[in-house]
Amino acid sequence: MKKFDRLQRFCLFLLAAALIVPTGCGESMPPQNTVSRKGMVVSVNDLATRVGVDILRQGGNAVDAAIGVGFALAVVYPEAGNLGGGGFMVIRFPDRPPTSIDFRETAPSAAHRDMYLTESGAVDPEKSLRGYLAAGVPGTVKGLELAHRLYGRMPWKRLVQPAVELAEQGFRLSEDQARSWRNMAGAFPSTFRVFGHAWDVFARNERFCQPDLAQTLIAIRDEGDSGFYTGRIAELIEADMKRNGGLVTVQDLAGYRAVERQPIIGSYRGYEVISMPPPSSGGIALIEMLNILEGYNLADLGPESPETVHRVVEAMRLAFADRALYLGDPDFVDIPVEKLTDKTYADELLSQIQLGVAGRSSMFSVSARGSFFHESHETTHYSIADSTGLTVAVTTTLNGVYGSLAVVDSAGFLLNNEMDDFTAKPGEPNLYGLIQGTANAIEPHKRMLSSMTPTIVVRDSQLVLAAGSPGGPTIINTVLQVLLHSIDFESTIDEAVSAPRFHHQWFPDVIDYESDRFDPLLLRQLEEWGYSLNPVTSLGKAHALAFDALNKTFRGAADPRGKGSARGY
Ligand code: GLY
């Protein structure tokens, strides 16, 4: 960025900070770029964002706000917000080492390696994507409860109550929501009972209420996680599973555990990068790519130069190949975390990159070839910081948009289709993009590998930024590019979030890039170096925040690719 531009931007930033007003806020759109002094919440849905800010205002900390936002999203954003899914939370404290909470779903005890194969041995994607057999044991309620028990400050009931009210009293739908909810509702009768009337409610300008979901949330509010994992809700889940060919039992639910894990911590040009460990592949792949890229002077090469894209793509290729070979549930497979995140190993990888020539995915790690599998691009991320600098990055998902499409009858929430994130048939490619090895094969109680990459960056004990995104495997590369823009190219967080993105995931050996956002000369140069290019509409929807240590202000950035909001106070 030119110096003059930077000065201009800095002055505008100071002005906005002094006024503490949201910027970039249209009348019909919630604020997407906001500056505030005391805290910041950035999420995909403005009702949920407001719940988080209210909790901060009432004296809750960032963990409390994250719990409130998580439950609110389960009501207002059934596309990915959830009670029936799972996710990851990375927490950075101002005064102690960071931590993470793993609430990834697990395979039910009756699951087995070949459960998604047909009699002829072919993968049946319908079985792992749609309906009750696609669901893993949900982790979200346990995860939020564990985060609260360890690090929350406000009473649990006050954190769940806003979601109860949203479900009981309802809220107005946008036209897009009403259309989408009605269209997906036909999948199962129980889903139709909850969402089938969405369009009529919208057309009558009424509030959309979810009485069954409200009762489920009241049980969680009053009984904590046992209100979900035991008793009436657990029995409703099991009964629905039995009626519809699913595997999750009351014993699976009672046995589910969320886990506090040591985060993956790396360094990049003097910044500390804190991210999610396995069973997410995100943190390891992110640090591996950053370690490789530290060997280049990207700042001099510029953000959208062919030289930078070339180097970043090669780092992506190498990290995704290792992801396929090594990564899975750490409770089931040995993962060489130290090696993969080691800078000497990154130097070895860097020496394999031939500048001016596109690498070839088939040239290395061939033994890693497992099966292609599809990772959904529907997930959601929220970032929260409070006035103490306590910062929380949460990525949560049902996997596909609306998960398995199956609502638990009389309980009002959608089940995940996260079983599709396992390797359905190790050793054989199928239709879709990403390759995995046997480390991620299905086993009872195992967690499926994820790409979710909730990440926090710190420098000299000061918060720098928090970020994450939906997007299946593109999540990792979206977060990488937000970090590169912030650190190497000195962009503000909203510039970093909105900058054009590209993606390479080892196989297929092709660069996806956001069409109409890159210079044709850059694309031509990449083709001359031997790359295959694939234009796509958009990659990721990052929700990020940054802290300006000089001015002691937070800046929130909801991705302009989506309709999320950033609010502070
Ligand atoms: N289901 C998407 C992910 O976990 O990466």
3-state secondary structure 434-483: EEECHHHECCCCCECCECCCCEEEEECCEEEEEECCCCCCHHHHHHHHHH
Cross-strand partners of 33 = 23, 557
Res. 364: pLDDT tops 70? no
Supply the pLDDT for residue 429.
46
* Contacts with 378 (C-beta within 8 Å, 6 or more apart), sequence order: 79, 80, 397, 398, 399, 400, 401, 402, 470
Closest CA to 484 of 311, 277, 263: 311
Contact, 499 vs 484, CB < 8 A? no
Distance 376 CA to ligand 1 centre (A): 7
Residue 115 CA to residue 150 CA, distance in Å, equals: 37
Q: Where are the domains of the chain?
A: 31-129+264-406+413-561
DSSP 522: H
Average pLDDT, the chain: 92
Q: Which numbered atom of ligand 1 lies nearest the CA of 448?
A: 4
CA of 260 to the centre of ligand 1 (A): 19
> Which residue out of 452, 455, 469, 541 has the highest number of ligand 1 atoms within 8 Å of its CB and is therefore the one to mutate?
452
Distance separating alpha carbons of residues 420 and 279, to the nearest angstrom: 14
Nearest atom (ligand 1) to Cα of 449 = 4
Distance, in Å, from the CA atom of 531 to the CA atom of 529, rounded to the nearest integer, reads: 6
Residues paired with residue 502 on neighbouring β-strands, in sequence order: 513
The pLDDT confidence band at residue 8, using thresholds 50, 70 and 90, is: very low
Looking at the predicted structure, is the pLDDT value of residue 352 above 90? yes
Residue 465: pLDDT band with limits 50, 70, 90: very high
Q: How far is the CA of 195 from the centre of ligand 1 (A)?
A: 24
What is the pLDDT, as a whole number, of residue 122? 85
379 catalytic residue (yes or no)? yes
- Residue 382 pLDDT class (50, 70, 90 cuts): very high
Q: Whose CA is nearest to atom 4 of ligand 1?
A: 450
Ligand 1 midpoint to CA 81 (Å): 13
Q: What is the pLDDT of residue 23?
A: 32
Confidence label for 376 from pLDDT (cuts 50, 70 and 90): low
Share of the chain above pLDDT 70, in %: 91
What number does the ligand 1 atom closest to the CA of 104 have?
Answer: 4
pLDDT at 539: 96
> CA of 152: how far to CAs of 104, 272, 399, in Å?
20, 24, 27
Asked if pLDDT for residue 27 goes beyond 80, the answer is no
pLDDT band at 377 (very low <50, low <70, confident <90, very high): low
Mean pLDDT along residues 63-82:
98
Atom number in ligand 1 closest to CA 420: 1
Catalytic member of 106, 379, 396, 453:
379
Residues 319-330: pLDDT tens digits? 999 998 899 999
Q: Whose CA is nearest to atom 3 of ligand 1?
A: 450
pLDDT in tens, 269-293: 999 999 999 999 999 999 999 999 9
| Ligand 1 atom, smallest distance to 473 CA | 5
Query: Pick from 436, 426, 454: which is nearest to 506 by CA?
Result: 436
Confidence label for 212 from pLDDT (cuts 50, 70 and 90): very high
User: pLDDT tens digit string along 117-176?
Assistant: 999 988 888 898 999 999 999 999 999 999 999 999 999 999 999 999 999 999 999 999
Render 13-56 in DSSP notation, one character per residue.
Answer: HHHHHHHT-EES--SSS--SEEEESS-EEEES-HHHHHHHHHHH
Atom of ligand 1 nearest to the CA of 475: 5
pTM of the model: 0.93
Quote the ligand 1 centre to 452 CA distance (angstroms). 6
> Which residues are near ligand 1 (CB < 6 Å)?
375-376, 379, 397, 399, 421, 450-452, 472
The pLDDT confidence band at residue 435, using thresholds 50, 70 and 90, is low
CA distance 138 to 105: 5
Average pLDDT of span 432-446: 79
Output the CA 336–ligand 1 centroid distance in Å: 21
Overall average pLDDT of the 391-411 stretch = 97
pLDDT at 428 (0 to 100): 53
Q: How far is CA 515 from the centre of its chain?
A: 23
Ligand 1 centroid distance, CA of 122 (Å): 23
Q: Which of 276, 375, 416 to mutate to test the pocket of ligand 1 (most atoms within 8 A of CB)?
A: 375
Say what the pLDDT of residue 433 is: 53
Alpha carbons 168 and 101: distance in angstroms, whole number = 29
pLDDT for 543 equals 98
**Mean pLDDT for the stretch of residues 100-119:** 96
Distance CA(50)–CA(65), nearest Å, equals: 10
Q: Name the CATH superfamily, with its identifier, for domain 31-129+264-406+413-561.
A: Gamma-glutamyltranspeptidase, small (S) subunit (3.60.20.40)
Angle at CA of residue 401, ends 400 and 406, nearest 5°: 80
The string of pLDDT tens digits covering residues 306-323 is 999 999 999 999 999 999
From residue 530, alpha-carbon distances to 307, 311, 508 in Å are: 13, 14, 14
Q: Ligand 1: which residue has its CA nearest to atom 1?
A: 399
Phi-psi region of 204 (alpha: psi -120 to 50; beta: other; left: phi over 0): alpha
| Residue in the structure block whose two tokens are 């909801």 | 558
Q: In the structure, how many helices (H) and strands (E) does the chain have?
A: 21, 20
Q: Each residue of 221-231: pLDDT tens digit?
A: 999 999 999 99
* Angstrom distance (rounded) from CA 303 to CA 301: 7
Helices 46-57 & 62-76, crossing angle to 10 degrees? 150
Judged by average pLDDT, the poorest of 200-204, 432-436, 443-447 is 432-436
Beta partners for 261? 100
Looking at the predicted structure, is the pLDDT value of residue 22 above 50? Answer: no
- For ligand 1, pick from 82, 475, 541 the residue to mutate: most ligand atoms within 8 Å of CB: 475
- Residue 493's SS3 state is helix
DSSP per-residue letters across 276-339? --TTBSHHHHHHHHHHHHTTS-HHHH-TT-HHHHHHHHHHHHHHHHHHHHH-S-TTTS---HHH
